[in-house]
Structure 1
Amino acid sequence: MFGLNTDKAFDTNKTNQYRLSIQVSLDGFSFLVFSEVDKKVLASKNTAVKISSPKLVSRHFSDWVNAEPVLKLPYQKVTILIFEEHFTLIPNTKNSELSTELLTNPDRDRFLFQNQIESIDASLQFGVNNELTETVKSLYGNAEWTHPVSLLLDNCPDIEKPNTGVLLQSQNQYFLILKRKSQLLLANCFRAEHSSDLVYFLLNSFRQLGISRNLTHLLVAGTRENNRHLIELALPYFPTVSELHTDYGHLDLAAGINRLHFYLTLNKN
């Protein structure tokens, strides 16, 4: 199993006691096997695949699972972290009408999921391509679908500066979260084919919301292994920029493994 990182405690005969977390994006796939009892990652692997269209994710996903024996073992729980650009927030009110399908399912070819977000008393609704949904269901039954933005809204790092920005990259898709203290100001996704487009959208978002970049700590992360280019791109415009990561003690296990996936998995309830 080339590229597989394992802890000495990993036991293939005990996987029904472990949680499997799978990250799905246009940059490829990664998985983590996590022990809830020991609170540690026991196995992990990242597979970079450049996928040209969301409609092709299902086929690549099937090929990837078939090539990884660890993914075919039984697990106590399976979570799918998917970077889906179509999402929206729905307030938790009795009179709230779920008339948001046009935003999250514009072509009527997606299955809709919702993640509850405790910190803002709302749900995040997102759509997943029907073919991918059926593929995952055939492999893992009722796996839990989770959007990374929903996890970050509930687990945003404590920052000394008044404002916090989180910028995630998944190929040409960028997810931006802006908060002032505990108040959510923006959660959005946009596409940018060129660096200049990304910079323009970032600066314009701050300008429209009246947020000071000097009073903002911008955290960056992505589905690729190296996010240094994002930091270098943002530094001329933001005095404080750093990579979003966890201080989890077993990060030495994660050489070449996606740090964002670690962060999202270890901060998930």
Structure 2
Amino acid sequence: MNTVSVIDTSFDIKITTSYFLSIQLQLDGFSFCVLDPVSNQYIQFNNRPLKPNENILDILEWELSKNNLLVYPYQKIFVLYNTSKYSLIPQALYDKKHHEDYLSFCFSEGVDLQTELVFANKIKMADSICVFKIPLQLSTILDKYFKNIQYFCQATPFIETALLSTPINMAHNHVHIHIQPSGFYFDIIVTSGNNLKMHNTFKYHDKKEFLYFTLFVFEQIKLDTHNTKVFLSGNIEKSNETYALLKKYVKQVEIDNTTKHFKFSGIFKHLSIQNHLNLFNIPLCV
């Protein structure tokens, strides 16, 4: 993926205090966008891919210190951290005092309070809490430049948006998959109406492993591969071999390349919206 930087002519540096700034840190790069909440339209987007041997925290520090668009004051600052180290807790069972315990139960390395911070997001539509951890160094860098940052795990906008986008009377099962670059992981959920039936994260190394885990979910939930719709977002294109392989086994596959909840300036016309769909949908989570 190439470096992308686009900005609409409506972007006004005199009124940035009315805009929302969303920043995303993921395994293959750094990106940010600006939403004008008055028009409900995205008017700026920037993506900086990570080169071999580059460190995402070094890139973040450089961008925050050098990129003029990041020095303006904004009404709200959202940071989306992509990680497989998170857990969903039913809200009725959630207790803030046990943040570290939730993650230690799910992951053998637990939480290192010397180098990591734990955050929690409420997923309103799922009546759940997403608990996740981020590097302390990340927070330290961001705190030098911004105040009142709201941190999110990618699972939060992914699940919230999927449930919001499904009609309450829709009885059919739907599968939503957000794909990180090969060699990393993907998030998968199954919805019925606006109810969350299943959620998981799978590490994968190639298209065959991706197919295996996806069909495993179909088998466990007893989904029909001919009639169940699958919506893909993230690191995916129709020309991608992963897409072609999945299409052989699951007949109704679509790339989710838009959001019903926000508008996009004409500058986004040639961009692959699905690659950054979670980033664009963060404002739905506040």
Is the pair's TM-score, using the shorter chain for normalization, greater than 0.5? yes
Counterpart of 1:13 in structure 2 is: 14
CA contact under 8 A between 2:24 and 2:32: conserved in structure 1?
A: yes
Residue 158 (str. 1) matches residue 166 (str. 2) = yes
1:147-200: CA deviation from partner (whole Å, max 9, x where unpaired): 222123222132767111111122222111112333322222221111111111
Q: Retained in 2: the 8 A contact 1:18–1:34?
A: yes
> Cα gap change, 1:186/1:228 in structure 2, threshold over 3 Å: closer, same or farther?
farther
Unaligned runs of 5+ residues in structure 2 are none
> Take 1:118 and 1:86, find their aligned partners in 2: how far apart are those partners?
20
- 2:256 and 2:19 map into 1 onto residues whose CA distance is 25
- SS of aligned partner of 2:250: coil
Residue 128 and residue 241 in structure 1: after superposition, are their counterparts in 2 closer, same or farther (change >3 A)? Answer: same
Q: Distance between the aligned counterparts of 2:274 and 2:131, measured in 1?
A: 25
Measure the CA separation in 2 of the matches of 1:21 and 1:235: 33
Q: Which residue of structure 1 lines up, in the alignment, with residue 45 of structure 2? A: 44
For residue 141 of structure 1, the aligned residue among 137, 144, 147 is 147
TM-score with structure 1 setting the length: 0.87
Structure 1 residue 120 and structure 2 residue 126: aligned? yes
The whole-number CA distance in structure 2 between the counterparts of 1:95 and 1:153 is 18
How far did 1:3 drift?
4.3
Identify if the C-alpha distance between structure 1 residues 132 and 264 changes in structure 2 by more than 3 Å, giving closer, same or farther. closer
Unmatched 5+ stretches in structure 1: none
Question: 3-state SS of the aligned residue for 2:121?
Answer: strand
Q: Which residue number in structure 2 is paired with residue 268 of structure 1?
A: 283
Q: Once the 2 structures are TM-superposed, how far is the Cα of residue 227 of structure 1 from its aligned partner? A: 6.0
Q: Give the letter aligned to residue 174 of structure 2.
A: T
Counterparts in 2 of 1:52 and 1:188: CA distance versus 1, 3 Å: farther
Contact 2:42–2:263 under 8 Å retained in 1: no
Which piece of structure 1 moves more, 80-89 or 152-161?
152-161
SS in 1 for 2:198: strand
Q: How many residues align?
A: 265
Tell me if the contact between 1:199 and 1:234 (Cα under 8 Å) persists in the aligned partners: yes
For 1:133 and 1:51, the matched residues in 2 are separated by 24
How far residue 262 of structure 1 moved from its aligned partner, in angstroms, is: 4.8
Q: Which amino acid aligns with 1:8?
A: T
- The answer (yes or no) to whether the contact 2:22–2:282 under 8 Å persists in 1 is no
Corresponding residue SS for 1:100: helix
1:209 partnered with 2:211: no
Per the alignment, residue 79 of structure 2 pairs with: 80
CA distance change for structure 1 residues 131 and 240 in 2, over 3 Å: closer, same or farther? Answer: same
Shift of 1:215: 2.9
Q: How does 1:229-240 map to 2 (within 5 A)?
A: 229=240, 230-240=242-252
* Alignment-mate amino acid for residue 222 of structure 2: G
Identity %: 20
Tell me which residue corresponds to 2:267: 253
Give 1:93's aligned residue.
Answer: 92
Structure 1 match to 2:61: 62
Shift of 1:81: 1.4
**Per-residue deviation, 1:26:** 0.7
Distance in 2 (CA, whole Å) between partners of 1:149 and 1:267 is 10
User: Per the alignment, do residues 80 and 113 of structure 1 end up closer, same or farther by CA in structure 2, a change over 3 Å counting?
Assistant: same
**Quick check: 7-16 or 44-53, which moved more?**
44-53
8 A contact 1:161–1:216 mirrored in 2: no
Contact 1:163-1:217 at 8 Å conserved across structures: yes
* TM-score, reference length from structure 2: 0.82
Q: Equivalents in 2 of 1:242, 1:93: separation in Å? A: 34
Q: Is this contact kept in 1: 2:231–2:256, CA < 8 A?
A: yes
Q: Which residue of 2 aligns with 1:198?
A: 210
Deviation string 1:25-84 (CA, Å, 9 cap, x unpaired) is 01112111111112111211122215779xx43222212333421012111111011211
Match of 2:36 in 1: 35
- Tell me which amino acid in the other structure corresponds to 1:265: F
Matched to 2:198, the amino acid is: L
Q: Does 1:132 align with 2:138?
A: yes
**Compared with structure 1, are the counterparts of its residues 264 and 132 closer, same or farther at alpha carbon in structure 2 (3 Å cutoff)?**
closer
1:200 partner SS:
helix
Relative to 1, partners in 2 of residues 1:107 and 1:47: Cα closer, same or farther, differing over 3 Å? same
